[in-house]
A and B are shown apart, each in its own frame.
Chain A
Amino acid sequence: MRPHIILRYIGLVLLFNAIFLFVSSLISALNSDSSLFPLLYSAVISALFGTFPLIFVPPTKTISNKEGFIIVLSSWLLSCLVGCIPYILWGGEFSFTNAWFESVSGFTTTGSTILTDIEALPKGLLFWRSSTHWIGGIGIIIFVLSVLPSIGSARMTLYRSEMSSLAMNNFHYRTHKTIQILAIIYVGLTFLETLSLLLCGMNLFDAITHSFATIATGGFSPKNLSIAFYKNLSAEIVIMIFMILSGIHFGLLFVTISGNFNDIRKSSIVMYYLLALLIGTALTAVSLHGNQFESWTDSLRYSAFQIISVGTSTGFATADSSVWPMFAKVLMIFFTLQCACAGSTSGGIKVDRIVIFWKSVKRKLIRLQYPNAVVPVKVDKAAVSDETVEMCLVYIIMYLAVTAVSTLVLTALGTDGLTAFSGTAATLGNVGPGFGAVGSISNYSSIPEFGKWIFTANMLLGRLEIFVLIMFFMPRSWR
């Protein structure tokens, strides 16, 4: 392993962060707010650290798998660290723990916050907060590689570690093109949503920050009441559409945009994803009608937004779901665990694994009846290897085990059961809001300090699909 090569690539990621920090400081300067110096100083530090390895380390075209793996992990962790510098320097509600929490929540596109008054933050800092979502959404590494002069194998190696293994299986494009596709779709969707929100009457700053958070399936809003602040149905519809789109495999989106509608129509994963959201919305609306809302229109409006928001791991809110009936809460917890499709920016177990899980259950039932039958697990008429099926099941078990352990530790710290469990599910799934003290309209400020560190660990575990982060702390696996 070559530490200097790793430092060069991490440097590029830091340079990418520095660009957004500079833009944020520009916004701060235009608004003459108090975050100018914290942002500018962080940008300078980040740019200097990013530039230095480029001076010493010559470019390379070959990166080993292990190096790629370390680059991805270190980039995530260092981005989170650099990301919290402006918060620490600005002060206010940001202690080191709080700043780290907010930064990790941003880069992992979780969207949980410790801020009790988001609107008290200066605009420059609010923009940086949303930018962390946008950077984290596409995966810092992919972004940086798309602007790098390095070609071929270097890109491929990093890409593998960044994306979910499931997404890799059904991503049919050649790698150098994949990066371009992801970038085009990501930027395109962000631009389209910003434009749509502007047409809905949102101001430019709010439209951009909300687009950043939606496309990254993050959930940071510059308003304390999140989307509920606007009381704007058309804006809610636009955000719902883009949340759903951001939860679909980006490769499939590209094929569909290119004019081939067959792939998305025939994709059982996407169909399951959409159907689940539809059924979830309908059931929640039924439970809310006459209980929280008098009219069917309101019940549908609020249930659709909340279900899509958690079902895509975004975490925006138009209503305080912590006061909803238990049935609606349980449904939302299910979606918090499941989330959206692999190959998107969402977190959670992912629909793909859930589909494979149900298909393997079906296979087991058939084998109980016909012990000698050869029954492959098929997704879209293609057989899924036994190794993939096994990995899916192990992942689901690991996911639930992490949820259980984290909940247990949080309750030991004095957090109530609902807050501990829903908070764990929401942070591990990179969703954001849970229930109880960490509901959709509240925040994580009341969680004990150590609890906040557990939640940030959950966010990183969820974003890096558990095994990758575990391997990072096992140096033997680096060799």
Chain B
Amino acid sequence: MRLRTKILSGFLILILMLFAAGSWSIYEMTQMGSSVQRLLDENYKSINAARMMMEAIERQDSAVLLIISGNDKQGKPILASGDELFLKGLDTAKTNITLDGEQACVETIEESYGSFKNFWTEFIINANNNKDLKWYYQTLHQAFLDTKLSVNKLMTLNDQAMYRTASKLQKRSYRVIMPGIVAIVSSVIFTLIFSYFINYYMVAPIIKITNGVKDFITTRNYMDISVETNDELSHLASAVKELCAISGAVQKT
């Protein structure tokens, strides 16, 4: 094999090693990026919607209590805005079903909120009602707790999924780093081996040939230089040997 090919192969291997590590790292980085996006798209949106619903239902509960205590004017707008906010959150949750069991969870929320809403709608429509705290605790409060519990379930479901995705992200980040570390260590070892080969198979024979020629100049006696490989250097060694032989013969004549 020619010297140029040998040197080139060394560099090519080094490039290939780093290229493979780089490509893998880029792939893992891309995967990590899409995982982060998924984390935001799928889970965070649902958690936000659940929070919105939680806030809305608590507001509605307070509004009902205000109405019971005779503050109709203050309570009714809060109740209406709470309902609007809840429906908005529910709508977001419905359009963002990405996990196993999330559909069922949303359906439960819708159902329990429906019965909760029925109670207070009736309460508001019958303005001359005589609903008191006893009525509240016996009927509405339980419906409120059921709705809150189902919203909480949705939040927990997405929280757990978020944790799992975050753990996967941690693993991914490990996988982004490791090829780099392995590539650095491998490249260092490879470079050492490469430089050893360069020194042994290229530099050392050149020094030998040079010393042989120098010896010939002073002693007119050319030592046979053996080059292990079959490349340009072995050709050079035999050419120098021939030259010395011819030169020695010319001098003798």
Contacts and interface: CB of A to CB of B under 8 A. Distances in A.
B197 A4 contact: yes
Contacts of A53: 193, 197
A91 B9 contact: no
A45 B17 contact: yes
A53 B197 CA distance: 8
B179 to A, nearest CB: 6
Chain B: interface size category:
20 to 34
B178 A45 contact: no
A88 B178 contact: yes
B186 A51 contact: no
A321 B21 CA distance: 45
A85 B178 CA distance: 10
A259 interface: no
A191 interface: no
B229 to A, nearest CB: 6
A124 B186 CA distance: 23
B178 A89 contact: yes
B13 interface: yes
A58 interface: yes
Contacts of A357: none
A3 interface: yes
A38 B21 CA distance: 10
Contact of A3 (B9, B179, B196): B196
Contacts of B186: 45, 49
A82 to B, nearest CB: 10
B220 interface: no
A89 B228 contact: no
Interface in B169-187: 171, 174-175, 178-179, 182, 186
A370 interface: no
Contacts of A44: 16-17, 20
A45 B187 CA distance: 10
Contacts of A48: 13, 16-17, 190
A396 B212 CA distance: 56
Nearest to B171: A91
Interface of B is mostly: helix
B234 to A, nearest CB: 11
A37 B6 contact: no
Contacts of A473: none
A91 B174 contact: yes
Interface string A71-96: 00000000000000100111110000
B1 interface: yes
Given A88-B178, A89-B175, A91-B175, A58 B228 contact: yes
A55 interface: yes
Interface string B182-206: 1000100110011011001100000
A45 B182 contact: yes
Contacts of B171: 91-92
Contacts of B230: 58
A41 B200 contact: no
B17 A89 contact: no
Contact of B229 (A58, A85, A89, A92): A58
B253 to A, nearest CB: 39
B44 interface: no
B16 A56 contact: no
A41 B228 contact: no
Given A41-B21, A48-B16, A4 B190 contact: no
Contacts of B182: 41, 45, 85, 88-89
Contacts of B123: none
Contacts of A51: 13
Nearest to B174: A91
B20 A56 contact: no
Contacts of A85: 182
Interface in A31-66: 37-38, 41, 44-45, 48-49, 51-53, 55-58
A91 B167 CA distance: 12
A170 to B, nearest CB: 39
26 contacts: A4-B196, A37-B179, A38-B175, A41-B20, A41-B21, A41-B179, A44-B20, A45-B17, A45-B20, A48-B13, A48-B17, A52-B9, A52-B10, A52-B190, A53-B197, A55-B1, A55-B5, A55-B6, A55-B9, A56-B201, A58-B228, A58-B229, A88-B178, A91-B171, A91-B174, A91-B175
